[in-house]
Amino acid sequence: MNSKSKQSKSRPEPDAPRFWRIPEGDSELLVAKFTDHAFGRHAHDRYALGVIVDGAERLYYRGTHWYGSAGSVVSITPGEIHDGAPVTEKGWTYRMMYIDPGWLNVGGLCKHSSPGHIHLFREPFRYDPQLAQILVYAHTTIENACSSLERETALFDALESLFARTDAPAQHKPSQERDAVRRVREKLVEEFDRNITLAELGLLVNMDPLYLIRVFRRETGASPHSYQLQERVARAQRFLRTSITAADTALMCGFTDQSHMHRTFKKIVGITPGKFKLGRNVWSQQETALAAVESKVGFEE
């Protein structure tokens, strides 16, 4: 009995991520604690912005490993390969926002930018307790708010504070290899649902397949195969934000079957496709509940 009791107490707290989506910019929010989950290398099609509120996370980003603890602001540029893992058995807890760059550009937060502009964050972690407090306040406000005005105000205040404290122009890479990687990435994105061979990619850029792997991994932080998998997951996220079912999404994204998508999706995103899809309607349920309460109050008066 005592032995079993000790084993039970020593087990890490189970992961229980909470994910939802709001109509303002179709932004996505996540609150999660990860103790024994390690993210595979991947990239987002959105800015990944947030705060570590407890514990510590180790993260690969732009060729270097970084460490963030409580009070660290997380800022990851769309398209940049990264991963994530706990530093200790305690794991880490964070509040994250996933923001569409196109929506930000239209909203005017990224000043003097074109519609396709992407802001480069050189470092994924910035220890800034004051900014962290601003972001946590905004995140919790968005989570509990029922009106669009309150959500949007909190969201823009937080994003404006974050972007105002960063200034990171893009760096240039050797033209020949940069162009080869660009062409391979374009093919993997355009034909994300097709099984592409290394030989085919090598012929595309006139490179030996093994050399191509080294160049591609050095430039992006992932192999062509891993890059295509994360693109499939990114497309799956887009489909799951609509009325498309998980089964149809798996087929449309080139996964072997639904279980294959489930495993890959959770490895990269941290939550299952089903939980991700459910987050799509949370905000509308909150609006409906508020409308019902307001209607009842008005009737009684």
pTM here is 0.67
Which pLDDT band, with edges at 50, 70 and 90, does 11 fall under? Answer: very low
Residues 47, 101: contact at Cβ < 8 Å?
A: yes
Q: Are residues 139 and 252 in the same domain?
A: no
Q: How far is CA 119 from the centre of its chain?
A: 15
Residue 285 lies in a domain: no
Name residues whose C-beta falls within 8 Å of residue 251's C-beta, 6 or more positions apart in sequence: none
Residue 291 lies in a domain: no
Model confidence pLDDT, tens digit, residues 18-34:
999 998 888 999 999 99
Residue 86, pLDDT > 50, answer yes
Task: Give the chain's domain count.
Answer: 2
Residue 55 lies in a domain: yes
Distance between first and last Cα of the chain: 60
- The phi, psi pair for 157, rounded to 5°, reads -60, -45
Residues 27, 81: contact at Cβ < 8 Å?
A: no
Q: Are residues 141 and 203 in the same domain?
A: no
CA distances from 20 to 100, 147, 217, 278 (A): 15, 15, 33, 8
Which pLDDT band, with edges at 50, 70 and 90, does 287 fall under? Answer: low
Question: Does residue 298 or residue 22 have the better pLDDT?
Answer: 22
Q: Which of 164, 197, 212 is the last residue of a domain?
A: 164
The upper half-sphere exposure of residue 200, i.e. CA atoms within 13 Å in the direction of its Cβ, equals 10
Using alpha carbons, select from 185, 198, 276, 193 the residue that is nearest to residue 232: 193
Residue 143 lies in a domain: yes
Look up residue 41 and give its amino acid. R
Q: Are residues 98 and 69 in the same domain?
A: yes
Q: Are residues 143 and 14 in the same domain?
A: yes
Other beta carbons less than 10 A from residue 73's beta carbon: 26
Structure-token pair, residue 288: 């409906």
Average pLDDT value for residue range 91-101? 95
User: CATH number of the domain that 261 lies in?
Assistant: 1.10.10.60
Q: Are residues 34 and 109 in the same domain?
A: yes
Q: Which of 132, 164, 196 is the last residue of a domain?
A: 164
Which helix (H) or strand (E) segment holds residue 231: the answer is helix 224-240
Range of the domain at 262: 175-279
What is residue 83's predicted lDDT score, i.e. its pLDDT? 92
What is residue 280's predicted lDDT score, i.e. its pLDDT? 65
Q: What average pLDDT is seen over the chain? A: 83
Residue 254 lies in a domain: yes
What is residue 152's predicted lDDT score, i.e. its pLDDT? 81
Q: Are residues 143 and 253 in the same domain?
A: no
Using alpha carbons, select from 26, 14, 3, 32 the residue that is nearest to residue 283: 26
Q: How far is CA 190 from the centre of its chain?
A: 21
Model confidence pLDDT, tens digit, residues 127-177:
999 999 999 999 999 998 867 778 887 888 898 889 888 654 444 456 788
The region of weakest confidence among 26-30, 119-123, 279-283 is: 279-283
Q: Are residues 108 and 191 in the same domain?
A: no
Residues 128, 71: contact at Cβ < 8 Å?
A: yes
Which pLDDT band, with edges at 50, 70 and 90, does 291 fall under? Answer: low
Name residues whose C-beta falls within 8 Å of residue 44's C-beta, 6 or more positions apart in sequence: 76, 78, 79, 98, 234
Q: What angle is formed at CA 95 by the lines to CA 90 and CA 97, rounded to 5 degrees?
A: 145
Residue 297 lies in a domain: no
The region of weakest confidence among 27-41, 138-152, 174-188, 238-252 is: 138-152
Own/partner pairs, 8-14, CB within 8 angstroms, 24+ separation: 12/36, 12/89, 12/91, 13/91
